[in-house]
Structure 1
C-alpha cells in the first residue's frame, strides 16, 4: 500500500454508489503503510520528518474518509431490509452490517408493537362501547316487549260484554263495584265476564255489529 493506491481507493469510494471491492487485507496493509511512515520519520532529519508527518496525517485522513463513506453505505443497506449481505464487504464490515440490521429490525418491531398495541386498545374500547350500546338496546327492547306483554295481558284480562238482564251490584276481581242493568255495555274483568256469560246474564260485545250504546267502565 502506498499513498497513490490509497488515494485511488478514496477516489473510487467517493464516486461509486455501491461498495467497491477491497483486498481482504486492506486494513492490515494500511496499518503497515502508516507504521512504515512512522519508522521513516524516526530515521529522517527534522525537515524530512515534517514532510513524513504530513504524509502520515494525510494517510489517516484518507483512511477515515474511506471508512466513513463505506460505513454510510453499509448502514443504508442494512436499514433497507435486504436479507442477504451485499458484495464488497470486508469481514469487519460484515459484522457491522449484521449488527446494524439486527438493531434496525428490533427498532422496527418495537415501534410496530407500539402502533399495534395502541390499535388493540382502540379496538377493545370500540368493542366495549359497541357491547354496551347493544346491551342498552337489548334492555330497551326487552323492556318494550315486557310492556307490550303486560298491556296484552291487561287487555286480555278485561272483556267488554253486554248485560242481558238486570242483576244486583257486585264486586269484580279487580276490587271495583259494578252497578249494571239490562242492555248496558261494560268492560269487566275476564273472570267476572265469563261467569256472567255462562249464567246467561251477559254476552261478549261485538263492536262491528253495534251502534251507539251506553258503555259503563
Structure 2
C-alpha cells in the first residue's frame, strides 16, 4: 500500500457521495486500510519521543484521518445498500449491476435486511407468525417492563437478580485518543472490553473517551479534515 492511501480513500469517498450510487471498490480495501493503520502505529511506537516530535504528530493525524475516512466510506455504502433493499421491497426499479458491486459481506448484510423487512411486514401487515410477532416482540416487551420496574424501584439488587435479557450495548460516535497512563480493563459503550496501556493510540466510544480525558488519563486527538 503506497503513501497516497489517504488521498485515494478521500477521492473514493467524494466519488461515492457525488454519484449517489453504489460503486465498485477493491475487495481488499478494508484489509489494506487496517494493515496500513497498524503499520503507521508501529512507526509511531518506534519513535524515541513520539509525543514531543513533529513526526509523531503527523503519524497520529494520518492514522486518525485514514480511520475516519474508512468509517465514512462504510457508512455511505451502508446507506446506499439500505436504499437498494427498500427499492426492491417496494417493487421499484432495481439495478442488478449496482447490486453486483457489493462486497461478499455487504451482500450477506443486504440479504438479511431484505429478510428482516419481509418478516416484519408479514407480522404487521398480514398478521403472520414471525419472530417479529412472536418471541421477539415478547422479549422486547419484557425488557421494557423490566426497565420501568427498575426506574420505579431503583435498587441494585433488583437489577442484578432480574432474569430479563440485557439490551444490546448503546452505540455511540468514536474518538481517537492517546493513553497517558495504564488503565484497568473496562467495558466500553460499544460492548467491547478495553485493556489500555500508557502510550496506546486507540479509538474509543466518545462517552468513554470523555471520561478518561476528564481524569487526564487520555488525550483526545482532534484532527483537522
TM-score w.r.t. structure 1 length?
0.49
Larger radius of gyration: 1
Whichever structure has more helix as a proportion of its residues is: 1
TM-score w.r.t. structure 2 length?
0.47
